Amino acid sequence: MERIHSLYLHVPFCTWVCKYCDFNAYAVLEGLIPPYVDALAREIDLAAAELPIGPFDTVFIGGGTPSLLRSAQLHQVLDRVRAIGMAPGAEITLEANPSNVTSEQVDGWLEAGVNRLSVGVQSLQPDALRFLERLHSGTDAIAALRTARAGGFSNINADLLYGVPGVNLAGWLETLDAVLAAGVQHLSAYELTVESKTRLGQEVRTGLVRMPGDDEQLAQYWAAAERLQTSGYEHYEISNWSLPGFACRHNLAAWHYQPYLGCGAGAHSMFRRSDRSTERRWNVKGPHAYIKQASTSGHAVAGSEALSPERALGEAAMIGVRLLDGTTAARDFPAQRTQLVNAGLLAEHDGAVRLTRRGIELANQIGAMFLA
Amino acid sequence: MSTPTKLTRAISVIAHVDHGKTTLSDRLLEYTGTVAPRDMVEQVLDQLDLERERGITIKAQAVRMLYKADDGQTYQINLIDTPGHVDFSYEVSRALAACDGAILVVDASQGIEAQTLANVHQALEHNLKIVPVVNKIDLPQADPELVREEIEKVIGLPAESVIFASARQGIGTKEILEAVVREVPPPTGDPTAPLRALIFDAKFDAYRGVVTYVRVLEGTLRKGVRAQMMQTGKSFEVDEVGIFRPERTPVDDLSAGEVGYLIANIRNVRDSRVGDTVTDAARPASAPLPGYRHVTPMVFAGLFPTDTEQYQQLKEALEKLQLNDAALVYEPETSAALGFGFRCGFLGLLHMEIVQERLEREFNLTLLGTAPTVEYRVRLRNGEEVPVDNPDHLPSPSEIESISEPIVLATIVVPSVYVGNMMQLSQERRGQYLNTVYEPGDRVVLTYRMPLAEIIHDYYDQLKSRSKGYASLDYELVGFEEANLVKLDVLVGGSPVDALSMIVDRSKAQQQGRRLAEKLKTLIPRQLFEVPIQAAIGGKIVARETVPAMRKDVTAKCYGGDVTRKRKLLEKQKEGKKRLKRVGNVEIPQEAFMAVLSLD
């Protein structure tokens, strides 16, 4: 099995689960954090004994709201990771909710080894924040970005949502400009996606909420892309921009189809066998079940799936094509490539392909063509 | 255990669809102990899964019951259950030919409907004694007295002969059985005469070959005789004779008046033609029994595998299905748009739907069916006449002298308040009004001469929707008539799609073209590029619509844990696309090929 240099750690706790969220996240279970951290530490220890992992180039602590962890808890987890091995200059990201970003917290995170902070700003418009059920204000969010920077973080990402009902193009660009002014090195702009099993999904189904049309969403997307480009940010993935040298290395590894280990409730892992076949496995989702299983056996695997080398190639192309610099992952699909190039969705250069502007708008159609 | 001829009866149950014939048959089987209560399932006689699911009877079925009547005698009653849908009226006609009497079931709330009349006419043609039953009298909206009056006035059966029943609740079952043994005459055939047995159905059994359903009218059919088919001249050694109870049960012989089956190592249902007479090769009868009307397909459509590699499988599936469905005909067809497939002939739209569903379900195929059409007769300038059952095969206008289309006599039974709607609809559909008869119970019988092509295009659905579901329809082919028809072509993405061509009345062609283009616009999903849809008559474009290009399809987030989900989503989308047919660059769904059926 190929050695694994990327690690994802999941923290499924939130103060409130926003109505659009379909991640593996739970409100009012914060009391479970201490046993959860113990279980997570145990899962990491056991993985080290069983799998070819480390030294780690990237560690990503996501959620949920991992900024709910106290710095001692963060320490506890990251110490176990360091015991396995951390590569020099490793990227260690923590996702944080603006409400949790205080100068004490920032000190503790830095001290624990975190060197990249991803702040869930989402929007600065009061109406949008209320609609999205965010518990912080726009001012809180900008203050959080400034506090992180002042406290010593030099690699900060802000997550933003566009296509939010009630926010027009001007309002969206206002949010974007203010966030850029606060000095982030990285920006993720996601279209607000309606997931069927969320409360937002229900509201859209029953007609209570009307989502902006495709044209409005694309207008906001392309306006942001333009604004970011003129501000010196590179558009390196469909929803991601960064200043030169600040692309998220953890996510890049996954988009380049590198194997990774995921620990924590509902976390996914991807392993590559020596025959180039791929295995995906995932942990049990619920925190109670996870704690019980991981703290007794050290394992919490709920299921797995083996992909033949052919299917894995298709998957690699489906993901790789999202990288806007281009990918060579589609090299095994000459017929599809020709068809997509002729349709004006892909452009070819130096044996690689990259999405055209139209290709970005229809990326799923392209991805589907690489799948069996 | 042989029954004297005078104690034998052969009956059918006839009714309009959904009036409760199959449920009544279930009760008769139960009451006579033919089926033990613990083996009783609903619709005992419907053996196809599809029949039970849809609650309809497709194939006629036979069963022998023993009934101890009030007169102390035990009668042998042979019952043949028949389908009620108009598509399968030929099944009714074959069943009736093998009977001496019929139980006529009329729904106590619906009253007499179009197929009630059609079935009664058939029964009378066969000289059958009719036992009228008003069924479903337990329903709150039932009006049995009114329906009884209707039966007397419309059909001419005395009101006092009408039995009130509820098959669901078992009310009236005994009265019906008593009436059958009392009213229906015993068979008159001589068991010692040379054998004459009428074939009324045939079924293919994978282990035994063809099982031939017969009624012996004269003589006796025994195991071991050499059975000769009088029409085809072929003969076969009889391995087994038996009766249905309701499963096949071998017996020593079937004598005059009895209903049962024979197995004679016949490998092809074509050698056991429905309507043919079986005689004994060693002592043949001098003349065959009068046969009955030959089954002719009324509608034609192309069936194509969506996966071209399934062509061979489709061919084998059709061969197998045809063994049990003599009404199905097919021949290979090649479409520029859809590739290799088969042009199939069906009895009607329901038959077509059922065949397609059985092919997909029982043979695991994914099929694309084109819109059904009728068979036209085209007279060419050189004097030749050619049948055309595929619009794309219509010769060029310069070669055509005239085109004739099949005409039916349509009978519509409807409450008087909807007469106006029915007349309007029938006139829109080129119907020629013939007659109106007012019947008791506020019921009107309308008759029209109408092109069959209009009927298969959504007429029945419209009839139902414009009468709040009350109208019923029956029709029979009466001949061919010249008409002013043209071919309407459709171009998708600039290329003609042969499978979308249709033959239409010239005066309505332009309007139909516009409607078809509009309809296709709603049915063809957005593609990566803009798709023009055009309708053309003889090279002249008469309508144009455009399917705009797909605007956006992109997932915002795709991180490690999302990948599996995303791949599965895209794979599912792709699976759904297999139902689409790629014509040139454009993906066209099955529904688009049926669009011509509902242009109103």
Q: What per-residue confidence (pLDDT) applies to B57? A: 53
Cβ–Cβ gap A280/B564 under 8 Å: yes
Predicted local confidence at residue B44, as pLDDT: 55
Please state, in angstroms and rounded to a whole number, the distance separating the CA atoms of residues A221 and A347.
21
Residues of chain B positioned with their CB less than 8 A from the CB of A367: 566, 570
Pick the residue of B529, B530, B552 with the most A CBs within 10 A to test the interface with A by mutation. Answer: B552
Which of A208, A227, A254 delimits the end of a domain? A254
Q: Which domains does chain B have, with CATH numbers?
A: 5-183 (3.40.50.300), 196-280 (2.40.30.10), 299-369 (3.30.70.870), 377-483 (3.30.70.240), 486-597 (3.30.70.2570)
Residues 6+ away with beta carbon under 8 Å from B52: B42, B43, B46
Mean pLDDT score, B240-269: 90
Burial class (CB in 10 A: 0-12, 13-18, 19+), B158: exposed
Q: How many residues does chain B have?
A: 600
Specify whether A136 is located in the same domain as A248. yes
Select the residue of A193, A319, A371 nearest B574 (Cβ to Cβ). A371
The predicted pLDDT at position B319 comes to 86
Of A190, A218, A368, the CB nearest to B556: A190
Residue A147 counted as domain residue: yes
Q: Buried b / exposed e across B5-36, counting CB within 10 Å, b at 16+? A: bebbbbbbbbbbbbbbbbbbbbbbbbbbebbe
Q: Do A362 and B552 touch (CB under 8 A)?
A: yes
Number of domains in chain A: 2
Q: How confident is the model at residue B343 (pLDDT cuts 50, 70, 90)?
A: very high
Rounded to 5°, the CA angle B288-B294-B297 comes to 165
Residues of chain A in contact with residue B557, where contact means CB-CB under 8 angstroms, are: 190, 193, 239
CATH of the domain at A26: 3.20.20.70
Residues B249-274, mean pLDDT to the nearest whole number: 88
Q: What's the angle, vertex CA A346, arms to CA A345 and CA A347, rounded to 5?
A: 130
Nearest to A218 among B552, B567, B571 (CB): B552
Non-local (6+) Cβ contacts of B396 within 8 A are: none
Q: How many CB atoms lie within 10 A of CB B333?
A: 23
Please tell me if residue B571 touches chain A, with a CB cutoff of 8 Å: yes
Structure tokens at A145: 């970005």
Q: How far apart (Å, rounded) are the C-alpha atoms in residues B455 and B463?
A: 10
Nearest to B573 among A318, A322, A368 (CB): A368
- Assigned token pair, B215: 């009624």
B403 vs B571: which has the higher pLDDT: B403
Q: Is the pLDDT of residue B268 over 90?
A: no
- A203 in a structural domain: yes
Task: Give contacts of A251 with chain B, Cβ < 8 Å.
Answer: 559
- Residue A342, chain B, CB below 8 Å: the answer is no
**Torsion angle of the four alpha carbons B66, B69, B73, B79, in this order, in degrees rounded to the nearest 10:** -30
Q: Could you tell me if B553 lies within 8 Å of chain A, comparing CB atoms?
A: yes
Higher per-residue pLDDT: A186 or B557? A186
What is the predicted pLDDT for the residue at B571?
Answer: 84
Comparing B95-99, B158-162, B510-514, which segment has the lowest mean pLDDT? B95-99
Neighbours of B285 (CB within 10 A): 20
Instruction: Categorize the per-residue pLDDT at A244 as very low, low, confident or very high, splitting at 50, 70 and 90.
Output: very high
- Is A284 inside any structural domain? no
Look at residue B42 in the predicted model and tell me its pLDDT.
Answer: 59
- The pLDDT of residue B86 is 61
pLDDT for A21-80, tens place per residue? Answer: 999 999 989 899 999 999 999 999 999 999 999 899 999 999 999 999 999 999 999 999
Task: Assess A256–B contact: CB distance below 8 Å, yes or no.
Answer: no
Q: Indicate the range of A128-132, A160-164, B512-516 predicted with least confidence.
A: B512-516
The distance of A364 to chain B (nearest Cα, Å) reads 5
B565 in reach of chain A (CB within 8 A): no
Q: Is B283 on the interface with A (CB under 8 A)?
A: no
Contact of B379 with B291, CB cutoff 8 Å: no
What is the token pair recorded at B125?
């043609």
Q: Note the pLDDT of residue B382.
A: 94
B549 touches chain A (CB under 8 A): no
- pLDDT score for B473: 87
Residues A270, B550: C-beta atoms closer than 8 Å: no
Single out the residue in A238, A254, A270 at which a domain terminates: A254
Say if strands A53-63 and A86-96 run parallel, antiparallel, or are unpaired.
Answer: parallel
CB atoms within 10 A of CB B53: 11
Among the partner-chain residues A266, A362, A368, the one whose CB lies closest to the CB of B550 is A362
Closest by Cβ to A214, choosing from B551, B555, B557: B551
Among the partner-chain residues B528, B570, B571, the one whose CB lies closest to the CB of A343 is B528
Q: Are B138 and B168 in contact (CB under 8 A)?
A: yes
Q: How confident is the model over B44-102, as pLDDT tens digits?
A: 556 556 555 555 554 557 889 999 999 999 999 998 877 656 666 666 677 788 889 99
* Rounded Cα gap, residues B297 and B346, in angstroms: 5
A8 touches chain B (CB under 8 A): yes
Q: Cα dist. B20→A153, B42, B385, B443 in Å?
A: 80, 12, 45, 21
d(CA B46, CA B70) in angstroms, rounded, equals 30
> CA gyration radius for chain A?
21
Distance, CA of A361 to CA of B551 (rounded, Å): 7
Instruction: Determine, for residues A371 and B554 on separate chains, whether the beta-carbon distance falls below 8 Å.
Output: no
**Residue B206 confidence (pLDDT) above 90:** no
In a domain, A260, yes or no: no
Any CB–CB contact under 8 A between A362 and chain B? yes
Q: Do A41 and A188 share a domain, yes or no?
A: yes
* B557 Cβ under 8 Å from any chain A Cβ: yes
Q: Return all residues near B277 (Cβ < 8 A) that are at least 6 apart.
A: B196, B197, B198, B199, B229, B230, B231, B285, B288, B289, B291
A5 Cα to chain B: minimum distance (Å): 14
pLDDT digit string, tens, across residues B180-191 = 999 999 998 888
Q: What global pTM score does this model have?
A: 0.67
Structural domain including A102 reads 4-254
Closest chain B residue to A162, measured at CA: B556
* Residue predicted with more confidence, A200 or B111: A200
In terms of average pLDDT, the best of A217-231, A324-338, B97-111, B259-273 is A217-231
pLDDT tier, B1 (very low <50, low <70, confident <90, very high otherwise): very low
State pLDDT tens for residues A292-323.
999 888 889 999 999 999 889 999 999 999 99
Q: Is residue A266, in this structure, part of any structural domain at all?
A: no
Residue A116 sits in the same domain as residue A225: yes
Residue B207, judged by CB atoms within 10 A of its CB (0-12, 13-18, 19+), counts as exposed
Distance from CA of A150 to the nearest CA of B (A): 30
> Which secondary structure element, helix H or strand E, spans residue A120, and what is its range?
strand A116-122
Whether B504 shows a pLDDT value over 80: the answer reads yes
> In chain B, which residues have their Cβ closer than 8 Å to the Cβ of A305?
564
Pairing of strands A86-96, A116-122: parallel
Q: What is the mean pLDDT of chain A?
A: 95
Contact A285, A268 (CB under 8 A): no
Interface touch B528/A365, C-beta < 8 Å:
yes
> Are A346 and A225 members of one domain?
no
What residue of B is the nearest CA neighbor of A239? Answer: B556
Residues A248 and A315 in one domain: no
- pLDDT by residue (tens digit) across B299-328? 999 999 988 889 999 999 998 887 767 678
Ranking A10-24, B167-181, B574-588 by mean pLDDT, the lowest is B574-588
Q: Are strands B209-218 and B196-205 parallel, antiparallel or unpaired?
A: antiparallel
Residue A300 lies in a domain: no
pLDDT of residue B553: 92
Nearest CA in chain A to B550: A362
Chain-chain contact of A363 with B554 (C-beta, under 8 angstroms) = yes
- Of A236, A254, A272, the domain-final residue: A254
Statement to judge: residues A86 and A151 lie in one domain: yes
User: Which residue of chain A is at minimal alpha-carbon distance from B577?
Assistant: A368
pLDDT at position A257 over 80: yes
Q: Identify the pLDDT of residue B84.
A: 59
pLDDT over threshold 80, residue B520: yes
Six-digit token string for A27:
């409100």
ipTM of the shown complex: 0.90
B274-283, pLDDT tens digit by residue? 778 999 999 9
CA dist A93 to A67, A106, A312, B309, B433, Å?
11, 13, 27, 51, 82
Mark whether A193 and A325 lie in a shared domain. no
CA distance B502 to A267: 57
Kindly give, in sequence order, each residue whose CB lies less than 8 Å from that of residue B281, ignoring residues fewer than 6 positions away.
B225, B226, B227, B228, B235
Question: What pLDDT, on a 0 to 100 scale, did the predictor assign at position B291?
Answer: 62
**The pLDDT of residue A184 is above 50:** yes
Give the three-state DSSP class for B193.
coil
The residues, any chain, with a CB within 8 Å of residue A342's CB and separated by 6 or more, are: none
- Strands A301-307 and A278-283 turn out to be antiparallel
Q: Which two tokens stand for residue B430?
A: 């080129």
Contact of A236 with A242, CB cutoff 8 Å:
yes
A322 vs B558: CB contact, 8 Å cut-off? yes
pLDDT at B50: 58
Q: Which domain CATH number covers A359?
A: 1.10.10
Residue B485 has, within 13 A of its CA and on its CB side, a CA count of 30
Please tell me whether residues A243 and A315 are part of one structural domain: no
Rounded to the nearest angstrom, the minimum Cα separation between B317 and chain A is 27
B560 touches chain A (CB under 8 A): yes
* pLDDT score for B271: 83
Q: Is A21 on the interface with B (CB under 8 A)?
A: no
- Distance (Å) from the C-alpha of residue B500 to the closest C-alpha of chain A? 26
Contact: B574, A364; criterion CB under 8 Å: no
